[in-house]
Amino acid sequence: MHMHPSQPNIKSTPNIKRSVLNPTPRSLGALLVASLSLVGAAQAQTRTRTELPFPDLPGFVTLRCDFHMHSVFSDGNVWPTVRAEEAWRDGLDAIALTDHIEYAPHKNEIPVNHARPYEIARAHGEPLGLIVIRAGEITRGEPPGHLNALFLTNVAALNQTNTIAAVRTAVEQGGFVFWNHPGWKQPDRKSVWYAEQEQFFTNGWLRGLEIVNGSDYDPIAYQWGLDKQITLLGNSDAHNPVGFDYGAAPGELRPMTLVFAKARTLEAVREALFARRTAVFSQGRLIGDAQFLEPLFQRSIKIVNPEIRIREKGRTVVQIRNQSPMNFEVRFDAKSPELTVTEKVVLVAGKVSLLEIRAGSGAASGERDVILNCKVQNALVTPNEVLSTSLRLKVQFDAGR
Ligand SMILES: [Zn+2]
Ligand SMILES: [Zn+2]
């Protein structure tokens, strides 16, 4: 049975024409122009994308991705087209529908068909420029728990009673396999590295760890990712419409994996995941290696007035623009005798924030480079450590008065 992917709901022309019908005489041409422009306006109003301008890194494009979500084809509550549409609206570049392969509670209403979630989502997402990845969730009790497999060629082939055979099949298809929500069944969510995981890992099969699932961040899994050099992922695992779980607070975003890819293509996403070039964005926080978080931060901000002039014991302000979609909470730890800066500042997303600078009495006259060391408190480069970086200014110190 073939199902047509549903099309966006565009109001039919007769309705729009009726709505602009006017008792005063006007030319047919004017009416036609009016109705055409209204059709355009209706589309623009109903379907908009919130762009998430995370900066690109040197040599890589930054892609916003959610590699874990469900549809009615397993235990989700939305049709696959909705996943593609909401991902586009949420500013994402790539998604994977990972319906459970072995668990289909709607099977009496919707026939089990492992090929369809991807096909339906792709048909809707591709015209929007969304990268849709063929995937599935291997769903077992613990151990080993749930594993997602991305970039499959045949999802149904993973439906095997033997877990090792299922994972091996995913790997043989070129799949990228990651462990979902490691700690979710453990007391206090203390994740346990099972013998099964060790085997998958030593086989080279287990390549990723979900360190953020929904709103849960797993510091134990994060440490594994660092120690074992496994790719870090953060995903929604959405079952309901994403708007049910995120967005109640203004500006709240779903969790996502930032992928630093050589191009904006499916194959480049795959290459970047195997090469471990990712970071996680969740609940206003960045999580990942300093080698990615430092340029992400530095390329997000721009000092509007990098050359400042200040008198002895005087004060001035530095304006810092944050072009990214997230706030940065920055704490300055340097207190030199010649300069004092605001101890803590929030660089607000999409705005210019002020940093107050005061000159001490010990500053000699003249122009020089000043490096302001700081810590970005919502950028976690290990489970216990935030990003250390610096801002550079050119300061002209003037003698007193
Ligand atoms: Zn799961
Ligand atoms: Zn899931």
Neighbours of 141 (CB within 10 A): 9
Ligand nearest to the CA of 237: 2
Question: How far apart are the CA of 68 and the centre of ligand 2, in A?
Answer: 6
Question: How far apart are the CA of 386 and the centre of ligand 2, in A?
Answer: 29
Question: How far apart are the CA of 98 and the centre of ligand 1, in A?
Answer: 9
Domains of the chain: 61-288 (3.20.20.140), 300-398 (2.60.40.10)
Question: How far apart are the CA of 58 and the centre of ligand 1, in A?
Answer: 34
Q: How far apart are CA 368 and CA 366, in angstroms?
A: 7
- Whether the bond into 8 is cis, omega within 30 of 0: no
Ligand nearest to the CA of 135: 2
Instruction: HSE, CB side, 13 Å, CA atoms: give it for residue 13.
Output: 7
Question: How far apart are the CA of 269 and the centre of ligand 1, in A?
Answer: 22
Ligand nearest to the CA of 236: 2
Question: How far apart are the CA of 213 and the centre of ligand 2, in A?
Answer: 9
Ligand nearest to the CA of 76: 2
307 within 8 A of 396, measured Cβ to Cβ: yes
* 3-state secondary structure at position 180: coil
Ligand nearest to the CA of 238: 2
Question: How far apart are the CA of 393 and the centre of ligand 2, in A?
Answer: 47
Weakly modelled stretches of the chain, pLDDT under 70: 1-45, 334, 400-401
Task: Give the pLDDT confidence score for residue 41 in this predicted structure.
Answer: 52
Question: How far apart are the CA of 139 and the centre of ligand 1, in A?
Answer: 7
Token pair in block for residue 159? 């439906």
- 285-287 and 366-382: which strand pairing? parallel
- Ligand 2 (single-atom ion) residues, CB below 5 Å: 137, 237
Task: Give the pLDDT confidence score for residue 35 in this predicted structure.
Answer: 46
